Structure 1
Amino acid sequence: MRKLPKKQSILLPDDWNIIEEGFHPQHNFMLETIFTVANGYLGLRGNLDEDFPDKCQSFKATYINGFYEEYDITYPEGGYGFAKRGEAMVNVADVKTFEITIEGEKFNLFSGKIYKHIRKLDMKSGTVVREILWESERGRKIFISFERLACFKRQHLGAINIRIKPLNFSGRIKIVSKIDGNSSNLLETEDVRVGSGIEKFPFETSKAHCSELKGFLMQKTKKSRLSYGCMAEHILSFGDFQHKSFADKEKNLVIFEIEFDAEKDMEYNLTKYFSYFTQRDVEEDLIEERCAAEILEAKKMGFENLLKEQREFLETFWENADVVVKGDPKIQQAIRFSLFSLLQSTGRNGISNIAAKGLTGEGYGGHYFWDSEIYIMPFFIYSQPEIAKMLLLYRYNILDAARKRARELHHRGALYPWRTIAGKECSAYFPAGTAQYHINADIVYAIKKYFEATDDLEFIKNYGAEIVFEVARFFSELGHFSEAKGGKFCIFCVTGPDEYTALVDNNAYTNYMVKMTLEFATELYNLLKEKDSNALEKLCRKIELLKDEVLLWKNIADNMYLPYNPELKIISQDDSFIYKKRLDLSKIPENQFPLLLNWHYLDIYRYQVCKQPDVLLLIYLLRENFTFEDLKNNYEYYEPITTHDSSLSPAIFSILAAELGYLDKAYEYFVYTARMDLDDLNDNTKDGIHAACMGGAWQALVFGFGGMRTNKDRLSFAPKLPQRLECLSFKVRYKGKVLKVEITKDKASYTLLEGESVQLSHYGSSFELKRGQAKEFILAN
């Protein structure tokens, strides 16, 4: 069994803030990820505000969720149906960097003397504040503060406020501010998880102009032919200053130079408002106009009112989403950072989703995966269902692309891409990409859970059922009834969640999830027939669905081949898995993990070794289908051979270990999940957050230690806390009701905050709560 790595954090523990005290240039790349501010649309990577020497490793970046460039995928040996053209989130124009000169000396933390340097991400205000007390090489001491935000309520708008105060001198200060359109993406690296595929500068600059302290830059991607615009304007709190501004389209720059005579102990304030729009939001010829309107509104409000609006937005978010953990302050900080990061990462416009690295870095090229549906979606379903709905609408909006991909592979129905932005399959390695057909079922699973939790029949009628029916249609053609397996429906040559086992027959996760999909599709067909036959008939005409297909779905579901080994009393991961040699992970040197970076794929595929849970994830997702003995047997079998090379892995192990009563082990897996980025446990936080891992941290608390399970008609709980935790409290939104759950070592209480009544279950004991009513249960030690 592999030991999980541990590290000492350089960040201070705090319930509501992420704090760096002191200057740590050796960790700057990682800290840029942590101190990102974003709003689901616009992501401002947490670069230092000033230019600095190359000795400090940095990647300056600004991202727009869903805005992408295309690139050609080349293969030494290609093949039919291989992904030919990729999509990558592009690094757009930078507005965050300033040059500050004090009496001819450039402000730079690599020179002079630092008396104070504090950087703080405030999760109540949604800002990053940086305060510096610095003395130049010639002895001029100055206080500088930078405050940066991406507005949650105005997703196209951001702002930076700078405060400058000379402490022991009076003199000339110059500030240079830019819209710098010379941004580029990371190139491919030896790490297959990093790099965009975009090899050269991806833009053509179509506009660059300025007037006074306001400027605009517009660029178009060279291959996807998508335009975006960025406008910035500066507001100064003092009147006596000189300025110059100029734009250079050829150099992709708009530059503003502001100079003033500063007096000792006087504070000077500059606010920079900026707005981004893309051609995916509005017509190309409206981009500049819409940017200007956002800036005008921001100026009317002022920076302080934008901060107030931001705090009010987050107050509502935390009221619904907060999870209170007592006993370990680093865990309280970590879970709030996870939830805040998910909010920052999540698109809410129906044309964007959640990139694997959020809007913080370029790992995986800004692609969307199954991470969204299986790991992140539950948090939003049970706390912010309106956001969950928008994420599912994104899947509906790329349904035509999924249909096209299915036809390309000679199937009817729809095949969703393994990794994508706008709908194309962008995975260049098909055994770990296209072959993971379970992506279809994962999306259906999310729709099913959303519907169970919200009763949103309108969504099902207008969007959800069409996705489910097209996916069911695809799956009905993916396999066949095999005489060699007793006439059961088998699915051959697929890859399940465990990417260290590829192109296998009858992957258990896939078969079970296909069965779930076909059963849910049949259920929805019958439900719509009963509730709104006109809507069903309209949909059937649109997609040419026949009743015979629905009957086939039921027949396949009833006769699905479900792998099981009676001797070992486990679910076989696939037809061949248990016949391979088991790897002893304890004998593999730690520097060889992750295996995918140090071993050839073939050398991995021929062993019993798992990158992440496969059968165990299946048991977790479809828990009602399996006994406690099934869970225990499979956990004991698969845990020793799981490397956790995927950040998706430890959360599921934590949840299942908690149910099994292995609370110390559950807590160890949970801590690894929750602190992965703040402590840089995988040495790759520099490439961006692990968004799915953050969703997994919420699930590990709520479904693991909270013991929550969901089904069609009620929530059930079987809570238990590990030794290190004293109290766990969270809220759940379910069928329009809001339930508060509080758990300590010796009791659990449930309070209905909203809704007339709710049916619940505690360790199998059913009970009902009325609005405002609470019920308490004693927990056995």
Structure 2
Amino acid sequence: MRRLSKRQAIFLPDEWNIIEEGFHPEKNFMLETIFTVANGYLGLRGNLDEDFPDKSQSFKATYINGFYEEYDITYPEGGYGFAKRGEAMVNVADVKTFEIIIDGEKFTLFNGKINKYVRKLDMRNGRLVREIIWEFNSSKKIYIIFERLACLKRQHLGAINIRIKPLNFSGRIKIVSKIDGNSSNLLETEDVRVGSGIEKFPFETIKAYCDKLNGFLMQKTKKSRLSYGCMVDHGLSIKEFFCKSFVDKEKNLVTFEIEFDAKQNMEYSLTKYFSYFTQRDVEEDLIEELCAAEILEAKKIGFENLLKEQREFLETFWENADVVVKGDPKIQQAIRFSLFSLLQSTGRNGISNIAAKGLTGEGYGGHYFWDSEIYIMPFFIYTHPEIARMLLIHRYNLLDAARQRAEELHHRGALYPWRTIAGKECSAYFPAGTAQYHINADIVYAIKKYFEATDDLDFIKNYGAEIVFESARFYADLGHFSEEKDGKFCIFCVTGPDEYTALVDNNAYTNYMVQMNLEFAARLYSLLKETDKEAFERLCNKLKLSDEEIELWKKIANNMYLPYNAKLKIIPQDDSFIYKKRFDLSKIPEDQFPLLLHWHYLDIYRYQICKQPDVLLLIYLLREKFSYEDLKNNYEYYEPITTHDSSLSSAIFSILAVELNLLEKAYEYFRYTARMDLDDLNDNTKDGIHAACMGGAWQAVVFGFGGMRTGNGLLSFSPRLPKNIDYISFKVKYKGCTIKGEITKNKAIYTLLAGEAILLSHYSQTFELKSGQAKEFVIET
């Protein structure tokens, strides 16, 4: 790999926890990302509970997946069909920040003395814990524990528990708790990947009140005109206390001041419950009522029972999703952090998806990309298919917007946006946005893989087939049969996955994936025709489908132009790629990476330089279409010119390197993938996690070192381990069965944990497993 950072993590190498021991204010921005807690709906960025005085090194934020503000996209020189209105995930009211005043001294880690400081993200129990012993005012010591959670079983709910114990004194303690509605998003920066594009304060407050320990704030975005509400209430273990609450409408604040006398060595507890609902979930006039119901239920069951629910939820999650890696404790920690982060990031309500940065930061404006389908979806398909189903239903719910976009660009069918939240195309740079027409096929690929793994025909009938058909219709209209290419179907002026090569003809990835889309569409058409006449006729009537149109799809698929260069024995990335000057990446100074921040796009586009795998990603996704020689030749051709400036890159190189038996290289790519955020390898974790990279880490274990492949209804494995890894185990769900794989350097064991029976393959040796049965195979070295 061209660059492998030597950065050292500040986290202790614990397999189930991310532990910061000692206070590291210089790393605060990055740590806020790592210590986020979220539940797929609500994201609580990991800022300090008592706030951070240097605002340039902190960004306290709370996000709701799929809740957005609109902004105008302006161009010095515009054009027809350019995206005109963007969407960005907004930072909503903050409830996480407190002021704690002890005997007149404000608690802050920047004054006094820190005798103990431990912060821990507990991935088994789904909570963030900070434990502090603070010394102030002539050796007075106080012990404080903060616990924070976003409830995984109750996605509109979160809670923070504060426990305080004066260790060597008695005194007066005041806790100031707030609903701070004066939230703002990050402004645009020189980094094109960061900044929301929306104005600094996007809200108007439409309701605010408080009553003793309870308060409510409702705000509406100024342009998208979407409302959300936030309600809080407090539970105290203290019998005698004074509480003053008030609203400051000008500052969009609801404030609670709670005071009590604290005795030495006595522990005092305050729990803050909070609930958020938005107009995207429910009607606006129901928001307050539902917030109140959620809070009432939370107070009734209490904080300890919320923790119990959290543990129970995660026991089920880890039972299905856990990956064990022995030989490198930091890798074990990293892979679990990746999977936990994917769970925290993923919407499960059909109106949200997975933002590129999850719910941890504002990189890429909170937009959903193809990352969801190609990099993250496999993890859910094979461990929690019910979540994968909801993610695909989200895409179905955006289908009408995709139809409108296709019509705007004078095409039939539907064109999904390259980046979006609610369905609009939000990419202001069309060469690396709209021109990536492969987005449709990426979504169809995920539908195909989901259907192969689950046999969920109801999903196909009610959701999936319509997406597949409309995507096929779009592609049939996009290209044409070219006489200059011997009558083959060609697609011109597109951009493939490699964003350092734009607006090209016959991008190989796109052409092959379009062929897959058309073939799958024709297969679904026949399947529905044979199995469910009513569903078939309903879809045909709705879409005005005919046998003639399906025959056209088959003709296009059979005559798709699929580039190949016999001299080089490779698949050219596109019609012009191999004729460009090949660039020696070793001659580019390290401080010029990533190139998109230091080079003009024209300087990038005219060379053979790849940001990420393109042809190699194609070979990985459609592995059954290519020989071992195809893989080897293309890997050797494209690896030296790939910068890995995209976090999507290294996982695919790792997986393919395993198959080529380049095990140490595979491990290097894998370690870079797995530790991307914990070690801040790209120096931008402050902007949010790299969610797709985390999905890639799972794929690198299961598809890479586990050697798993799917195709022709058969699950196959060709495992092998590098010297740094002694053992891996994982579980996958396939066609109603749960299979556990355990791999060492010289043997593999496959166990059928659930299901009656299944056929599997180990290095092309087919075998059957029955319920509860395990079979062991020797791995030849």
- TM-score computed with the length of structure 2 as normaliser: 1.00
| Equivalent residue number for residue 330 of structure 2 | 330
* In the alignment, structure 1 residue 52 sits paired with structure 2 residue 52: yes
Q: Distance in 2 between matches of 1:132 and 1:557?
A: 64
Q: How is 1:331-410 mapped onto 2 (pairs within 5 angstroms)?
A: 331-410=331-410
- C-alpha displacement of 1:730: 0.4
* Alignment-derived partner of residue 503 in structure 2: 503
C-alpha distance in structure 2 between counterparts of 1:687 and 1:736, whole Å: 39
Equivalence for 2:667: 667
Residue 267 of structure 2 corresponds to residue 284 of structure 1: no
Corresponding residue for residue 417 of structure 1: 417
Match of 1:314 in 2: 314
Q: Tell me the residue number matched to 1:231.
A: 231
Question: Does structure 1 retain, via aligned residues, the 8 Å contact 2:52–2:58?
Answer: no
1:2-55 deviations in Å (ceiling 9; x for gaps): 232231101111010000000000000000000000000000000000033227
Say whether residues 1:610 and 2:610 are aligned partners.
yes
Q: Residue in 1 aligned with 2:70?
A: 70
Q: Which residue of 2 aligns with 1:632?
A: 632
The answer (yes or no) to whether the contact 1:375–1:696 under 8 Å persists in 2 is yes
Distance 2:655 2:714 in 1: 20
* Match in the other structure for 1:164: 164
Cα offsets for 1:497-528 (capped at 9, x unmatched): 00000000000000000000000000000000
In the alignment, structure 1 residue 9 sits paired with structure 2 residue 39: no
Counterpart CA distance in 1 for 2:570 and 2:240 is 78
8 Å Cα contact 1:748-1:776 kept in structure 2: yes
Q: CA offset at residue 229 of structure 1?
A: 0.2
CA–CA distance in structure 1, aligned partners of residues 208 and 3 of structure 2: 54
Secondary structure, aligned partner of 1:333: helix
Aligned to 1:779: 779
1:19 is matched with which residue? Answer: 19
Q: Which amino acid in the other structure matches residue 554 of structure 2?
A: K
- The offset of 1:684, in angstroms, is 0.2
Question: Is the CA contact (8 Å cut-off) linking 1:111 and 1:137 kept in structure 2?
Answer: no
Deviations 1:384-424 (A, max 9, x none): 00000000000000000000000000001000000000000
Unpaired runs of 5+ residues, structure 2, are: none
The match for 2:730 is: 730
Q: 1:248: how far off?
A: 2.2
Aligned to 1:478: 478
Report the 3-state secondary structure (helix = DSSP H, G, I; strand = E; otherwise coil) of the residue aligned with 2:474.
Answer: helix
- Structure 1 CA distance for aligned equivalents of residues 138 and 511 of structure 2: 71
Tell me if structure 1 keeps the 8 A contact 2:757–2:771: yes
Task: Write the deviation string for residues 213-264 of structure 1: whole angstroms up to 9, x where unpaired.
Answer: 0000000000000000000001100111101001122321100000011111
Aligned to 2:147: 147
State the alpha-carbon separation in 1 of the partners of residues 681 and 524 from structure 2: 43
> Is the CA contact (8 Å cut-off) linking 1:209 and 1:248 kept in structure 2?
no
1:718 is aligned with what amino acid? S
In structure 2, the residue matched to 1:525 is 525
1:382 alignment partner, SS class: helix
Match of 2:136 in 1: 136
Give, in angstroms, the shift of residue 551 of structure 1. 0.6
Provide the C-alpha distance between the structure 1 equivalents of 2:731 and 2:200, rounded to a whole number of angstroms: 47
Aligned to 2:115: 115
- Once residues 76 and 494 of structure 2 are traced to their aligned partners in structure 1, the CA distance between those partners, rounded to angstroms, is 23
Deviations 1:95-148 (A, max 9, x none): 000000011110000000000110000000000000000011443210011000
Q: Which residue of 2 aligns with 1:542?
A: 542
**Map 1:30-41 → 2, pairs under 5 A:** 30-41=30-41
Taking the TM superposition and a 5 Å limit, the aligned residue runs for 1:195-206 are 195-206=195-206
> What do residues 274-315 of structure 1 show as CA deviations (whole Å, max 9, x unaligned)?
000000111100000000000000011100000001000000
Match of 1:516 in 2: 516
Decide which moves more: 222-231 or 712-721. Answer: 712-721
Residue number in structure 2 paired with 1:491? 491
Give the aligned partner of residue 741 of structure 1. 741
**Partner Cα distance (1:205, 1:546) in 2:** 52
Out of 163-172 and 621-630, give the one that drifted further. Answer: 163-172
- The answer to whether the aligner puts 1:689 opposite 2:679 as a matched pair is no
1:42-101 CA deviation, whole Å, 9 max, x = no partner? 000000000332277100100000000000000000000000000000000000000000
For residues 663-690 of structure 1, the C-alpha deviation after alignment (integer angstroms, 9 at most, x for no partner) is 0000000000000000000000000000
In 2, Cα distance between the equivalents of 1:634 and 1:605?
A: 20
SS of the equivalent of 1:302 reads helix
**Aligned position for 1:433:** 433
Would you say the 8 A contact 1:28–1:56 is kept in 2?
no
Structure 1 residue aligned with 2:564: 564
Q: For each residue in 1:342-394, what CA deviation from the matched residue of structure 2 results, as whole angstroms up to 9, or x when unmatched?
A: 00000000000000000000000000000000000000000000000000000
Instruction: Report SS of the residue matched to 1:742.
Output: strand
CA distance in 1 between counterparts of 2:711 and 2:533 reads 26
Cα 1:60–1:344 shift into 2, 3 Å: same
Question: What is the CA–CA distance in structure 2 between the aligned matches of 1:126 and 1:56, rounded to whole Å?
Answer: 29
The whole-number CA distance in structure 2 between the counterparts of 1:751 and 1:413 is: 44
Alignment RMSD: 0.7
SS class of match (1:176): strand
Does 2:209 align with 1:209? Answer: yes
Q: Displacement, 1:547?
A: 1.7
Q: CA deviation at 1:564?
A: 0.5
Give the Cα separation in 2 of the matches to 1:56 and 1:286. 38
Structure-1 separation of matches of 2:658 and 2:619: 14
Q: How many residues align?
A: 781
Mapped to 1, the partners of 2:483 and 2:55 lie a distance apart of 66
Distance 2:561 2:758 in 1: 37
Q: Which residue of 2 aligns with 1:240?
A: 240
Partner of 1:708: 708
Look up the match of 1:764: 764
